[in-house]
Structure 1
């Protein structure tokens, strides 16, 4: 029996995300070009963002971004508030860097821009998979950052 195009199985958003992460981030060491593209895009979004990074050790910051992505992904998969997730929320909240809530959306948009730059085959469906995966962790951070 032949399947019609409407019957062909499509990957779930979880599978689409996992495939994209394997392609763009890999295991272990981070994708230097992706991280550099992200910060170039993010910092140039506004003078306010540039000011936040004016005195930042960018080498350490790039490692923190990689680690933060791992934390957000793990939170999405487990919904367990790990010590790393707590630290991430605290670091961005009122007792930490006091990051304005709107910047989390700019951060995510900048990450998507960097992913599109790194992968010519990156699609709107891939973007949605990334957004759906990172949303729980970003929501958690925003919730505690807004308090």
Structure 2
């Protein structure tokens, strides 16, 4: 059996793009409920702006997966999370798990292979986010 993870990701991501506002609203509700640490991080956050930034961040991670090039803004976001916000790397795992739980709720053709396609696509960007400040 052959599984085209690019096709699975592209189809599901395309579907999400048709209902981004609802998707990201649901994601942040689940994400902030997942941990008191996360709830505290977002306590005084402008969530309208935050959802917009997440949309961009996901697109940067997809672009990073495809091109293996970190655009300046993606580098800035990664440095901000690592150095200034001091995001614990474990929170990225919660981020991905929550993103997939939200996807499972929204995408009618969600299955394990779709989840794996998202993990494959976003993993390089997540690792970059975790480790950017170690680069010279």
Hey, what does 2:48 align to over in structure 1? 59
From 82, 94, 109, the counterpart of 1:106? 94
Task: Give the SS at the match of 1:14.
Answer: helix
For residue 99 of structure 1, report the CA deviation from its aligned partner. Answer: 0.6
Structure with the larger helix share: 2
Which of 13, 31, 43 is matched with 1:42 structurally? Answer: 31
Matched, 1:124 2:112: yes
* Rounded Cα–Cα distance in structure 1 between residues aligned with 2:93 and 2:133: 13
Q: Mark the runs of 5 or more structure 1 residues left unpaired by the alignment.
A: 1-5
- Report whether the alignment pairs 1:115 with 2:107: no
- State the alpha-carbon separation in 1 of the partners of residues 106 and 134 from structure 2: 32
The correspondence for 1:141, drawn from 115, 124, 129, is 129
Higher CA-based Rg: 1
Taking the aligned partners of 1:46 and 1:33, their CA distance within structure 2 comes to: 21
Aligned to 1:93, what secondary structure does the other structure show? helix
Partners of 1:93 and 1:99 within 8 A in 2: yes
1:90-132 deviation digits (Å, cap 9, x = unpaired) = 12012x2111110000001010010011123211000000000
Report deviation, 1:75.
0.2
Partner Cα separation in structure 1 for residue 63 and residue 27 of structure 2: 21
Aligned residues between the structures: 135
Q: TM-score, normalised by structure 2?
A: 0.92
Q: Which of 122-131 and 84-93 deviates more?
A: 84-93
- Determine if contact 2:75/2:132 at 8 Å carries over to the other structure: no
Task: Provide structure 2 residue ranges, at least 5 long, that are not aligned to the other structure.
Answer: none
Separation (CA, whole Å) in 1 of partners of 2:74 and 2:89: 17
CA RMSD of aligned residues (A): 1.6
